[in-house]
Chain A
Amino acid sequence: MEGGGFKPVRFYDLTAHRLRELLLRREISAVELCRSVLNRIDEVEGRVKAYITLDREGALRQAAAVDRQLQNGRELPPLAGIPFAIKDNMCLRGLPATCSSRILRNWVPPYDATVVEKLKDQQAVILGKTNLDEFAMGSSTEHSAFFTTRNPWDPKRVPGGSSGGSAAAVAAGTAVCALGSDTGGSIRQPASFCGVVGMKPTYGLVSRYGLVAFASSLDQVGPLTRDVTDCALVLNAICGHDHRDSTSVPKEVPDFTSFLVDDVKGMRIGLPREYFPPGLDDGVRRVVMEAVSVLETLGAHVEETSLPHTGYALPVYYLIAPAEASSNLARYDGVRYGYRAPGSEDVLEMFRASRSRGFGAEVKRRIMLGTYALSAGYYDAYYLKALKVRTLIRRDFDEAFEKFDALLSPTAPETAFAIGAKTEDPIRMYLSDIFTLAANLAGLPGVSVPAGLVAGLPIGVQFIGKPFAEGTLLRMGFAFEQSTGHHRHRPPDTPGGDGS
């Protein structure tokens, strides 16, 4: 393959379904594939900084095991041998799960998250754990206690967040697929910034067992991949009821690849006007409207609609998520695991010192916000009121979905912003999730699909669907991607890519 003057195939830059064909045809071994990605990591990781922990030996061991299975002619699960990155807020037995926090820096979980267990069942090759904003609180990875991940398209820019490490790894070729978590847009916004596909499933479709909680009623694990087909494959692998998560829904799940048909004729798509405010970035607006034209050309009916309570989504989110976080993060106190500040005279002082030094500024800000919102005398005015408005937001969507199969919007209000641009202004940072967080509040599935470039930077469009209508979103995304090829764009230093 390497001879004859042909351009060498960059295995690390192919999709999982393409690599599966090559593996099954024995055109590449799982170990070769793994080495290709590890070499790519050697090449670019110093620049991208997607990973907190790498497990080269573990990855190669798993790849070798897959090769043995292949040699024995065994039938292999769809993701066998595919190199994966896992966001570092999910537990993988034996590797640290830092959540990008000083307070968990050295904590090694003694158990596997359900999603990790499922990837292991798939015989996926897990390369390591990726960077995030501390405890998934942020939109840029700048709130990581360790370092900021760079956008592979422009190292001066953020990859988005909080699953920035996972998105950057998939975009940079340092992982073929990745898992992220999404509480208010943390999969979809970095997918948009890095030019990859990112899906937040319906709340309850994927088990949260082993995902370190940020806001329990909003968190979902989901795929970050290079195309919609891979997204369906990963979703197939990680979804399903888990008796260890009471909020996971006991429901039959379909084969999501069955929705990958290149046909959206007659499908009804709504454009919520609140997602196209007057001040929206021109480039973003242009890209989304081009996507609308494409879908119309393909036979979809696109129509404007309204989600009247959209304006409340951000304040509601910033009451509910911090309230839950303030309680979820109470366990980090230095008693049992994680960072313990030395030199305290009594246990209260130890709690205070460990938490003061162990948590970063953004995490502390949210703990304080949430503690305040739940305090006696304020609960009704803030938290309870927020729960009520959350119901109204959900109702807006219910009504819209009586008319539409899906809603279409920009994923993020802009392309990847410069590192440091928003770190001094939390509200501006929060606004980065303005188009994504309503889906979390309503528990709905959302997917961001690459929709083109603006000034050389990728941007995604978001499809939001009814509960458990991931199939519909995958079908729309697939048709869109087949007709546009936007998913084939690769960062400047990785020309080529799939099929070219």
Chain B
Amino acid sequence: MNKYEAVIGLEVHVELDTDAKIFCPSSTVFGARHNAQVCPVCLGLPGTLPVLNRKVVEYGIRVALALDCSLARFSKFDRKNYFYPDLPKNYQISQFDLPLAYEGRLDYETDDGARHRCGVVRVHMEEDAGKLIHRAGAANAPPYSLVDYNRTGVPLLEIVSAPDIRSAEEARAYLNELKTVIQYTGVSDCKMEEGSLRCDANVSVRPRGEEILGTKAEIKNLNSFRAVQRALEYEIDRQIGRLEAGQRIVQETRSWDEEKAVTVSMRSKEEAHDYRYFPEPDLVPLVISPSWVEDVRRALPELPQTKRERYLKEFRLPPHDIRVLTASPGLARYFEEGVRLFPEPKAVANWVLGDLSRLLNAAQVKIEDCRVRPADLCDLLRLIGDGTVSGKIAKAVLEEMFTSGKEARTVIAEKGLVQITDAGALKEVVDEVIAGHPDTVQDYRNGKTRALGFLVGQVMKSTGGRANPSLVNDLLKERLG
């Protein structure tokens, strides 16, 4: 295995979250009734013409800047010609030789903490196609297909990486970081399961130390980050296996079969489409002024890498906490709001990454929709701080806040969860526990200090967890002398 090195480049398509489609005013909202979000233009009816949505360009510039790309001063659209029933004009308006942006880079980290840099060859805009829905026919009738054109003309950004990726794991880490960066720019939710982020992978292998690239295969039908990684692992093994067996690699397009966990040949290079690209005569060339780019740059939010560096400097959090907190803009926003209201970063981070994340994951709720707002969480943290509730009780309080949407104080009052810090009130319980566990008491007196912990636990149990643990500790020690 180590004799060989994989060379991987990724082509990522991201659906841009504009209100209108790229060349017409139809809506882009996901999940509408079939063929409800169409108009003569995106249906490609005879006589209609595309008109570029400037918002798409603005979003494209945002991503390009976030990926450190150079912006083209002069860009244009081209027609990519091929026949497919989900493509109403039988050509796709895309960008060929003068893309929106080029020569960028993305820095990312793999799980082992190693830093990598991947070049971005180009970023270009294009229109999405519709969706085919295949149906089995009724009894004796042949199967048939329907077309939903709602997605037709939804704006896409294609981001083509340089062949700088060297393993399936790196590919996955690159995608993760790319997704995070794009989410930060606010132009897409990047949901692979809804198709708002899609990925094709080009992969070849070569003997380690060899400069010349091996013959590549393009892998399609990758529907999750996990699929990308698995398909690449499979494909790298397959290609190495062929080389080891003295066989040639054929340039081809292969499809990932998730169920069988294999890639299968779709078409060879000879069968590849000739797209007959030519300049789109219905659109005028796009001139992007430096002042437009600067306006977009100024409005760009803090990007993940900058944020991570700031968290390290400002909050002194462990690297793992920083990575998780910054993985999505929503979580980072939540955390920062929390720290603003309760300036103990580590405590806020612990609660956000621990109990709150556990509750969110279990309930499949996004942080943006969480009923416990940062202010509510900080109230709870303050109540822990002033001894009103113990940390342990607070976990239960948070859970109740999460499900009911009530404030911390309300939950604590309703359930009578206020911590007992009155020694007088606790003495009785302490005495009962001592009386009830003579053996343990004896053990403690014989020098087994760990026995004390058991007795504390018993007091806590009897008070429903509400006793102040350190007070209980002191009281027991005092009693047992």
Q: Tell me whether A and B are bound partners.
A: yes
User: Residues on A close to B: CB < 8 A?
Assistant: 89-91, 97, 99, 104, 107, 109-111, 113, 208-213, 215-217, 243-247, 323-324, 326-327, 330-331, 333, 335-337, 347-348, 351, 371, 374-376, 379, 383
B85 close to A347 (CB less than 8 A): yes
CB distance from A89 to the nearest CB of B (A): 8
Within B36-79, the residues touching A (CB, 8 Å) are 40, 43-52, 79
Residue among B40, B51, B278, B284 making CB contact with A374, cutoff 8 Å: B278
B282 close to A331 (CB less than 8 A): no
Which of these binds chain A: B2-10, B87-95, B302-310? B87-95
CB distance from A104 to the nearest CB of B (A): 7
A217 close to B281 (CB less than 8 A): yes
A375 close to B281 (CB less than 8 A): no
Q: How far is the CA of A244 from the CA of B283 in the complex (A)?
A: 11
Residue among B81, B88, B276 making CB contact with A336, cutoff 8 Å: B88
A212 close to B46 (CB less than 8 A): yes
B52 close to A246 (CB less than 8 A): yes
Instruction: Answer whether A337 and B47 are a contact pair too, CB < 8 Å, given A327-B278, A374-B276.
Output: no
The residue of chain A having its C-beta at the shortest distance from the C-beta of B83 within the complex is A351
Query: Does any Cβ of A come within 8 Å of B300's Cβ?
Result: no
Q: How far is the CA of A212 from the CA of B52 in the complex (A)?
A: 20
Q: How far is the CA of A264 from the CA of B40 in the complex (A)?
A: 46
CB distance from A111 to the nearest CB of B (A): 5
Q: How far is the CA of A90 from the CA of B44 in the complex (A)?
A: 15
The residue of chain A having its C-beta at the shortest distance from the C-beta of B52 within the complex is A246
A335 close to B49 (CB less than 8 A): no
Write out the residue numbers on chain A whose beta carbons fall within 8 Å of the beta carbon of B277. 374
Instruction: Answer whether A210 and B90 are a contact pair too, CB < 8 Å, given A351-B83, A383-B278.
Output: no
Instruction: Answer whether A331 and B81 are a contact pair too, CB < 8 Å, given A208-B49, A324-B281.
Output: no
B89 close to A331 (CB less than 8 A): yes
The residue of chain B having its C-beta at the shortest distance from the C-beta of A215 within the complex is B281
Write out the residue numbers on chain A whose beta carbons fall within 8 Å of the beta carbon of B147. 335-336
Residue among B40, B46, B145, B283 making CB contact with A104, cutoff 8 Å: B46
Instruction: Answer whether A375 and B49 are a contact pair too, CB < 8 Å, given A217-B281, A347-B145, A351-B83.
Output: no
Write out the residue numbers on chain A whose beta carbons fall within 8 Å of the beta carbon of B145. 347
Write out the residue numbers on chain A whose beta carbons fall within 8 Å of the beta carbon of B88. 331, 336
Query: Does any Cβ of A come within 8 Å of B112's Cβ?
Result: no
B274 close to A247 (CB less than 8 A): no
Instruction: Answer whether A209 and B49 are a contact pair too, CB < 8 Å, given A247-B282, A327-B81, A336-B88.
Output: yes
Q: How far is the CA of A379 from the CA of B48 in the complex (A)?
A: 26
Write out the residue numbers on chain A whose beta carbons fall within 8 Å of the beta carbon of B91. 327, 330
The residue of chain B having its C-beta at the shortest distance from the C-beta of A208 within the complex is B49
Q: How far is the CA of A255 from the CA of B47 in the complex (A)?
A: 27
Write out the residue numbers on chain B whose beta carbons fall within 8 Å of the beta carbon of A104. 46
Instruction: Answer whether A209 and B52 are a contact pair too, CB < 8 Å, given A111-B40, A330-B89, A333-B83.
Output: no
Q: How far is the CA of A460 from the CA of B45 in the complex (A)?
A: 36
Residue among B46, B274, B284 making CB contact with A91, cutoff 8 Å: B46
Identify the interface centre among A89, A107, A246, A324: most chain B CB within 10 Å of its CB. A246
Residue among A208, A209, A246, A347 making CB contact with B284, cutoff 8 Å: A246
Write out the residue numbers on chain A whose beta carbons fall within 8 Å of the beta carbon of B40. 109-111
A243 close to B47 (CB less than 8 A): no
A211 close to B43 (CB less than 8 A): no
A331 close to B47 (CB less than 8 A): no
Instruction: Answer whether A246 and B47 are a contact pair too, CB < 8 Å, given A111-B40, A335-B85.
Output: no
Instruction: Answer whether A246 and B49 are a contact pair too, CB < 8 Å, given A111-B40, A324-B281, A331-B90.
Output: yes
A99 close to B46 (CB less than 8 A): yes
Q: How far is the CA of A139 from the CA of B45 in the complex (A)?
A: 26
Write out the residue numbers on chain A whose beta carbons fall within 8 Å of the beta carbon of B283. 246-247
Write out the residue numbers on chain A whose beta carbons fall within 8 Å of the beta carbon of B276. 326-327, 371, 374-376, 379
CB distance from A351 to the nearest CB of B (A): 6
B284 close to A247 (CB less than 8 A): yes
Residue among A90, A375, A376 making CB contact with B47, cutoff 8 Å: A90
A376 close to B85 (CB less than 8 A): no
Write out the residue numbers on chain B whose beta carbons fall within 8 Å of the beta carbon of A351. 83
Residue among B46, B49, B90 making CB contact with A245, cutoff 8 Å: B49
CB distance from A98 to the nearest CB of B (A): 10
Write out the residue numbers on chain A whose beta carbons fall within 8 Å of the beta carbon of B79. 327
Identify the interface centre among B44, B45, B91, B277: most chain A CB within 10 Å of its CB. B45
CB distance from B74 to the nearest CB of A (A): 16
Closest 8 CB pairs of A and B: A330-B90, A216-B281, A374-B276, A217-B281, A212-B46, A210-B47, A212-B47, A331-B89
A244 close to B51 (CB less than 8 A): yes
Write out the residue numbers on chain B whose beta carbons fall within 8 Å of the beta carbon of A371. 276
Q: How far is the CA of A246 from the CA of B40 in the complex (A)?
A: 16
B46 close to A107 (CB less than 8 A): yes
A211 close to B47 (CB less than 8 A): yes
Q: How far is the CA of A212 from the CA of B46 in the complex (A)?
A: 5
The residue of chain A having its C-beta at the shortest distance from the C-beta of B43 within the complex is A336
Between-chain CB contacts (< 8 Å), 26 pairs: A97-B46, A107-B46, A109-B45, A109-B46, A110-B40, A111-B45, A212-B47, A213-B46, A215-B281, A217-B281, A246-B49, A246-B52, A246-B284, A324-B278, A326-B81, A327-B91, A327-B278, A330-B81, A330-B83, A330-B91, A331-B88, A331-B90, A348-B83, A351-B83, A379-B278, A383-B278
Write out the residue numbers on chain A whose beta carbons fall within 8 Å of the beta carbon of B46. 91, 97, 99, 104, 107, 109, 212-213, 331
Q: How far is the CA of A110 from the CA of B38 in the complex (A)?
A: 13
Write out the residue numbers on chain B whose beta carbons fall within 8 Å of the beta carbon of A211. 47
Residue among B47, B48, B81, B85 making CB contact with A333, cutoff 8 Å: B85
CB distance from B347 to the nearest CB of A (A): 56
